[in-house]
Amino acid sequence: MIARTTARIRGWGRDLMDWMEERTGIVSLTEKLLYEPTPARGRWLYTLGSATLFLITLQFLTGILLLFYYVPTTDNAWDSIHYIMTQAYFGRLIRGMHFWSANLLLFVIGLHMVRTFLSGSYKAPREMNWVVGVFLILIVTIMAFSGYALRWDQEGFWAWEVGAMISSYTPLIGSWVITTLLGGDTAGPATLSRVFALHVWLLPAVLAPLIGVHLYLLRKHGEFGATFEYSERLAALRKRRQMEETFGSVEEDGQVADAGDHSQEG
C-alpha cells in the first residue's frame, strides 16, 4: 500500500518535471548550472567566490528587509534604526546580519581576489573576469562606506564627511566631486538622500548585472585549473614526450611544444 502510493507520487513528480522541462528547459538548465568541474587542487580556496556570492545575496535580502523600517531623512534616520534595534521583532538579528555580513564580505572578497591572483586565474583567457572583479570590489567598498553613513550617527556622519573630503582632493574636478557627493557645499538633508540613492538603488543596480557577467565569464572559460584543463595539458605534454622520444629534443618554438598550453603566456 505505502509502496504503491510512494511509487505513484514519484510518478506524478516525474510527470511534472517532464512537463516543466518540455516547456521551460528548467531541468537541463539546472543540470548545466550545477555541474561544473572544479580543480581537485586548492579545494576550499575555490569556494571563496561562492562565499562572496552567498554574502552579497544575504546583503540584498537583509537590506530589503531593513527598508521596511529605515527612513532616509536627517531627522529620522537614527530613530528608525533605533526602532529596528529595540522594538521590531528580530530587528537586532536582521540588522546584525546586514552589518556583520558586510564586514565579512569585504574580508572574503579580498581573500577571493588573493586566491585568483595567486593561482594565476587572471591570465588569458580570463583577463576580463579579473577586470570585472576589480569593478565589483570597488562597488562593494563604496556600498560598505555609504551604508555606514546611512546610520547618520556620529561615526557614520564623520566617516562620510572624511570620505567626501578625501574625494575633494581629486585633481581638477575635486570641488565637483565633493559637491556632487554632498548635494551642496555643506552636509545636510541632501547628503543623506544622495547616500541613500547610491547605497540602495544605484550601486546594487550596477552590482547585480556585473555579478551576472562575472559568473557568465567564469562558466564560459571554466574554473581555472579544472580537470579538463589539466587533461588537455597532460595530453599535450604526453604528445610532446612522444615526439621527443621519436625525434629527439623538440625546438622551443616548434609547433609541437605549443599545443594547447596557455599557461606560459602573459
Partner 1 sequence: MPEELQKDPLTRRQFLWMGTLGTFTGVVLTVPSAVFVLDPAIKDVLLERSDVPAEWKEVGSVFEIPASEAVEHLVEFTQKQTYDAGEPAVNGTGAKVETMTNAVLLSWRDGKLPSVLSTRDEGPLPKTQIKELERDLNALSNHCAHLGCPVRWSSETQDILCPCHGGIYDINGDHTGGPPAHGLWHYVSRIREDGTILVKHEFYVQQKGQIGPGVKTKPYVV
Identity at 69, one-letter amino acid code: Y
CB 39 → ligand HEM: shortest distance, Å?
8
Q: Which of residues 172-201 bind partner 1 (CB under 8 A)?
A: 175-180, 182-191, 193
Considering only residues 168, 239, 257, 259, which one is a binding residue for partner 1 as defined by CB under 8 A?
168
- In order of 6, 16, 264, the CA distances from 9 in angstroms are 5, 10, 55
CB 95 → partner 1: shortest distance, Å?
26
Q: Choose from partner 1, ligand HEM, none: what does 136 bind? Cβ within 5-8 Å by kind.
A: ligand HEM
Residue 60 CB-density burial (10 A; 0-12 exposed, 13-18 middle, 19+ buried): middle
Considering only residues 59, 121, 146, 191, which one is a binding residue for ligand HEM as defined by CB under 6 A?
121
Q: Choose from ligand HEM, partner 1, none: what does 112 bind? Cβ within 5-8 Å by kind.
A: ligand HEM
Q: Choose from partner 1, ligand HEM, none: what does 167 bind? Cβ within 5-8 Å by kind.
A: none
CB 173 → partner 1: shortest distance, Å?
9
Residue written as grid cell 568541474: 37
CB 146 → ligand HEM: shortest distance, Å?
16
Residue 38 or 168: the one with the smaller Cβ distance to partner 1 is 168
Quote the cell numbers at residue 66. 531593513
Q: Choose from partner 1, ligand HEM, none: what does 144 bind? Cβ within 5-8 Å by kind.
A: none
Q: Provide the mask over 224-263, with x wherever binding to ligand HEM is found by CB under 6 A and - wherever it is not.
A: x---------------------------------------
Q: Provide the mask over 67-106, with x wherever binding to partner 1 is found by CB under 8 A and - wherever it is not.
A: -------x--------------------------------
Considering only residues 65, 109, 150, 178, which one is a binding residue for ligand HEM as defined by CB under 6 A?
109
Tell me how far apart the alpha carbons of residues 62 and 95 are, in angstroms, rounded to a whole number: 7
Quote the cell numbers at residue 204. 546594487
Residue 87 or 154: the one with the smaller Cβ distance to partner 1 is 154
Q: Choose from partner 1, ligand HEM, none: what does 188 bind? Cβ within 5-8 Å by kind.
A: partner 1
CB 64 → ligand HEM: shortest distance, Å?
17
**Residues near partner 1 (CB under 8 A):** 74, 158, 161-162, 164-166, 168, 175-180, 182-191, 193
